[in-house]
Structure 1
Amino acid sequence: MAISALAFTFLNAFVKSLGTFSVYQIVFFRSAGSLVFTIPFLLKNKISLLGNKRGLLVLRSVFGLTSMTLFFLSLKYIPMGTAVSLRYIAPIFAAFFALLFLKENVKLLQWLFFAIAFAGVLVLKGLDTELKIQGILFALVSAVFAGLVYITIRKIGDKDHPVVVVNYFMVISTVIGGLLSINNWTMPVGKQWFILLSLGIFGYFAQLYMTKAMQVGETNQVAPLKYLEVIFTIVIGLFWFQEVYTLWSLAGILLIILGLTLNISIKKPK
């Protein structure tokens, strides 16, 4: 999950730098680029592209596509670190969904720590008046769908290879992203081609290692480790994009990280 968080960080930075492109075109390039890795891997290792849990694979892909699109949209309105912080309260939703659908145990103390993290969201939303409400809403709804992604992957379990799971996501995202970007297509020039094509590389490794992590570990224990992406992204945002964070923004982000970190401390693998 730590490797996944680092890869997602670079993906976030490149998406942020492509602000003049349609979000659907970014989704298209990010997804199509990953297919260069996933399809040859599956063919070489004689792994069925269709998979076993096909209904769940499609469902995971739709959840993932929705979450990714909304998150990319949020980057157009609010700083990267804030967007990532809001999106990655997803473990709260993941724990709730896991309790309902997977019957995983969630300790009472964990809910207290999740409440601390959610308090950080309230601080960001209510006290940082410089944040645009559109960006906050996009990131929050993205988090809900990310939580659904986590439990869907857990439901798939080891019945499908991680690359099969990622490949489904990329195929569906490429088709839908491509169709929706036709009317607002912008022709890349110069280094924009390199940035757009690199999205698939970082996205592939980020998704692959996230999927592996979710398949081998309990949702409540593994998912919170994605908060590392918040730290990585804030640092890059400050130095690359000269993003400004108010004291209230930093306080909210710290509360989110604190809540998720405390959750990890009591949820040790058996």
Structure 2
Amino acid sequence: MTFSQIPIGIRYMILSAFGFAIMAACVKWASKSGIPVLEIVAARALVSLVLSFLDVKRKRLPLFGHRKHLLVARGVVGAFALMCVYYSVTTLPLAEATVLQYLHPVFTAILALFLLKERLHLPTLVCIAFSFIGLLVIARPAFLFGDSVQDFSMIAVGAGICGAFGSAIAYVLVRKLNETEDPSVIIFYFPMIALPISVLLPGDDFIMPTGWQWFALLCVGIFTQIGQIGLTRSMQTETAGRATAFSYLQVVFSVFLGWFFFGEIPVVFTWVGGGFILFGALINIFWRKSPVNKQ
């Protein structure tokens, strides 16, 4: 099969996965060059704010939406989740940080049970079990594996988990907001809230970017938008199950980018733990209840 024969929705999702993987690599690149995490968040928010503002104006939508309290809550939660994600990307190998983000479907299912009164079906429960095992294998806590096996900060792992949990909260809020708000307005609120938070929060001293640092920060914003556009178009032109399955190519891209640009080679624990998490997620996507034969 040639690339042109792949359904358009799948192609968009591959583009989305590649865009988000490049974005994460650029975040790590900017951090290694000396740019603080909060400054990277602010740069990404600034680019996204301009692009999303133009999109809202192009559609002639009310800029501030209708359910402002939920829109602000989505922006605040999303901002802190992004900070956690970027911190994990800058302190963990790219592959590990990316795999941890795919815990968010588990958190989303649990939150939806309590907040949206949605039932947990058997495939979701299996996904939760596999994801928990995978998380333990990747994190390698000392009380299970011993101090000699744990070779990176549990704070960084915790930040990645918090980022996934925050993403899940934001996703649940988006599902509520979709009842009354246009997606472009929801997207606009995220950088509008994230920009002042990332500027005002205390952190490392501001560093004026130079040369390649400007380019890295610009790429963070651009490839974020590419990822978002690919994701949106994919969901519009392909069934959610098939499209979501191909989003996991981001892990493959991240493994390659981590090796190619940063010399990171995932250890066996990452492969095994990541396999558990991804396998659980795919079970949740593709497992369908068998039809009951009626006599």
What is the TM-score of this pair, normalised by structure 1?
0.89
1:218: Cα distance to partner? 11
For the 8 Å contact 2:27–2:90, the answer to whether it is kept is no
What pairs with 1:16-31 in structure 2 (closer than 5 Å)? Answer: 16-19=28-31, 20-31=34-45
Q: Distance in 2 between the 1:136 and 1:152 partners? A: 25
The answer (yes or no) to whether the contact 1:60–1:152 under 8 Å persists in 2 is yes
Out of 235, 246, 259, which is 2:267 matched to?
246
CA drift at 1:5:
2.8
Decide which moves more: 250-259 or 217-226: 217-226
Q: CA 1:225–1:152 in 2, change beyond 3 Å: closer, same or farther?
A: farther
CA contact (8 A) 2:24 2:220 kept: no
Instruction: Go from structure 1 to structure 2 and tell me whether the alpha carbon gap of 1:221 and 1:179 turns closer, same or farther (over 3 Å shift).
Output: farther
C-alpha spacing 1:94/1:65, structure 2 compared with 1 (3 Å): same
Give the Cα–Cα distance (whole angstroms) in 1 for the partners of residues 230 and 51 of structure 2: 14
Deviations 1:211-238 (A, max 9, x none): 6778999999977764332222112111
Correspondence 1:90-105 to 2 at 5 A = 90-105=104-119
Superposed CA deviations along residues 170-214 of structure 1, whole A, max 9, x for unmatched, are: 111111112237861111111211211222222234345556778
> 1:6 corresponds to which letter in structure 2?
F
Distance 2:108 2:217 in 1: 30
More helix by share: 1
Structure 2: segments with no counterpart, 5+ residues = 1-11, 290-295
Percent identity (aligned): 30
**TM-aligned CA deviation for residue 66 of structure 1:** 0.9
Deviations 1:32-57 (A, max 9, x none): 01122111221222111101221111
Kept in 2: contact 1:154–1:215 (CA 8 A): no
Aligned pair 1:6/2:18, yes or no? yes
Count of residues in Structure 1 that have an aligned counterpart in Structure 2 = 268
Query: Which structure has the bigger radius of gyration?
Result: 2
- 1:46 correspondence with 2:90: no
Structure-1 separation of matches of 2:225 and 2:136:
32
Paired AA for residue 250 in structure 2: E
Deviation at 1:124, TM superposition (A): 1.1
- Residue 96 of structure 1 aligns with an amino acid whose one-letter code is I
The equivalent of 1:233 in structure 2 is 254
Distance, in Å, in 1 between the alignment partners of 2:86 and 2:202 is 14
Counterpart of 1:48 in 2: which secondary structure?
coil
Which residue of structure 1 aligns with residue 5 of structure 2?
none
Which range moves more in the overlay, 89-98 or 130-139?
130-139
